[in-house]
């Protein structure tokens, strides 16, 4: 049977790895960051499922080996050890998914920095070492920037695939084929009005604005397939309002009397 002192030492070793230099701290930072980015981008659906609002307050942990884990806060560690934000799962269903992931990314950035400079303080880095550590960290995009870039790439890919789908839809209908299924990129699209995620199986009519290139449920903007067939270029309510405002602000030309 292991003595209590042995268990304390083993926990301490896990909390305080063999760190002696800014390069050591940066290696830990980079690994933890990679794990969190993985959770919020490539593994986002799995991460979403693990953040069950019916569970206790959960945290997202990035591990030095580049993996991630959703679990309860650690209780058997010194209180001064920084921990991720607790309770990320509670807001999962009450917040638009994009906003929810963005907030977790921001909190994760704060946790990563606090972990890095916790170790820097524990090793008593001097000013030059702290500056070197910060410069190395700053060579990487923040978690928030990485998540935002990933989302923008998915949106751009979706727009390209949507244009291709629109141009080929008539031919598919003439051939009697069913343009169902949708791509993985399409599954990431949200209605700009209600933020509901696109699904090829939801049975709803969707329409894209030809001005801002955002997508909407037909029901959210008062549009039906029959109305859409009569429109050459669709303008969403937001763009329509801006267009009217711009016309009202435009200076009117007053024709003078030549006589």
Residues 6 or more apart whose CB falls under 8 angstroms from that of 90 comprise 53, 57
- Confidence bin at 73 (pLDDT 50/70/90): confident
pLDDT-derived band at 200 (thresholds 50, 70, 90) equals low
pLDDT of residue 174: 46
H/E stretch holding 76 reads none
User: How far apart are alpha carbons 61 and 83 in whole angstroms?
Assistant: 8
Among candidate residues 217, 149, 152, 213, the one with its CA nearest the CA of residue 185: 152
The position carrying tokens 């550590």 is 133
Check pLDDT > 80 for residue 196.
Answer: no
| Pair of tokens at residue 204 | 């709803």
* Coil vs helix vs strand at 230: coil
* Contacts of the segment 237-241: beta carbons below 8 A, 24+ positions apart: 238/192, 238/209, 238/212, 239/209, 239/211, 239/212
3-state SS assignment for residue 222: coil
Confidence at 74, pLDDT banded by 50, 70, 90: confident
- The model's pLDDT over 209-242, given as tens digits with 9 standing for 90+, comes to 888 888 888 888 888 888 888 888 888 888 887 7
- Work out the average pLDDT over 47-64: 93
Is the pLDDT assigned to residue 3 strictly greater than 90? no
CA distances to 143, 172, 216, 255 from 138, in Å:
12, 50, 38, 60
The torsion of the CA quartet 49, 201, 94, 106, rounded to 10 degrees, works out to 60
Do 125 and 133 form a contact (C-beta atoms < 8 A)? yes
Q: State mean pLDDT over 182-209.
A: 67
Interior CA angle at 23 toward 21 and 26, to 5°?
Answer: 115
Q: Which residues, at least 6 apart from 142, have a Cβ–Cβ distance to it below 8 Å? A: 105, 109
What's the mean pLDDT in 162-174? 47
Rounded-to-integer distance, Cα 191 and Cα 183, Å: 16
Share of the chain above pLDDT 70, in %: 71
Residues forming beta bridges with residue 60, ordered by sequence position: 70
Q: What is the pLDDT of residue 98?
A: 85
pTM, two decimals, is 0.59
Q: What is the pLDDT of residue 16?
A: 56
Most confident among 61-70, 95-104, 165-174 (mean pLDDT) = 61-70
21-30, 56-65, 126-135, 164-173: lowest mean pLDDT where?
164-173
Please give the pLDDT value at position 250: 60
Compute the distance between CA of residue 254 and CA of residue 257 in angstroms, rounded to an integer.
10
| pLDDT on residue 17 | 61
Q: What is the dihedral of CA 144, 57, 84, 65, to 10 degrees?
A: -90
150: helix, strand or coil: helix
């Amino acid at each position: 049977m292991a003595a209590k002192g042995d268990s304390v030492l083993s926990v301490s070793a896990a909390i305080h790895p063999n760190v002696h230099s800014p390069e050591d701290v940066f290696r830990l930072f980079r690994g933890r960051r990679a794990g969190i980015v993985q959770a919020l981008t490539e593994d986002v659906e799995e991460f979403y499922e693990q953040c069950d609002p019916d569970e206790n307050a959960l945290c997202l942990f990035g591990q030095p080996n580049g993996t991630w884990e959703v679990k309860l806060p650690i209780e058997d560690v010194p209180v001064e050890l920084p921990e991720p934000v607790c309770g990320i799962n509670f807001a999962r269903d009450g917040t638009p998914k994009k906003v929810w992931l963005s907030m977790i990314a921001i909190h994760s950035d704060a946790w990563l920095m606090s972990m890095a400079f916790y170790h820097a303080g524990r090793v008593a880095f001097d000013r030059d070492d702290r500056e070197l550590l910060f410069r190395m960290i700053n060579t990487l995009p923040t978690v928030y920037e990485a998540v935002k870039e990933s989302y923008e790439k998915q949106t751009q890919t979706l727009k390209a695939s949507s244009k291709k789908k629109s141009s080929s839809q008539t031919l598919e209908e003439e051939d009697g084929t069913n343009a169902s299924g949708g791509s993985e990129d399409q599954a990431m699209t949200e209605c700009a009005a209600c933020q509901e995620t696109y699904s090829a199986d939801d049975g709803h009519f969707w329409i894209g604005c030809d001005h801002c290139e955002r997508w909407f449920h037909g029901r959210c903007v008062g549009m039906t397939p029959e109305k859409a067939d009569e429109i050459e270029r669709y303008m969403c309510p937001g763009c329509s309002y801006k267009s009217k405002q711009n016309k009202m602000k435009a200076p009117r030309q007053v024709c003078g009397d030549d006589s």
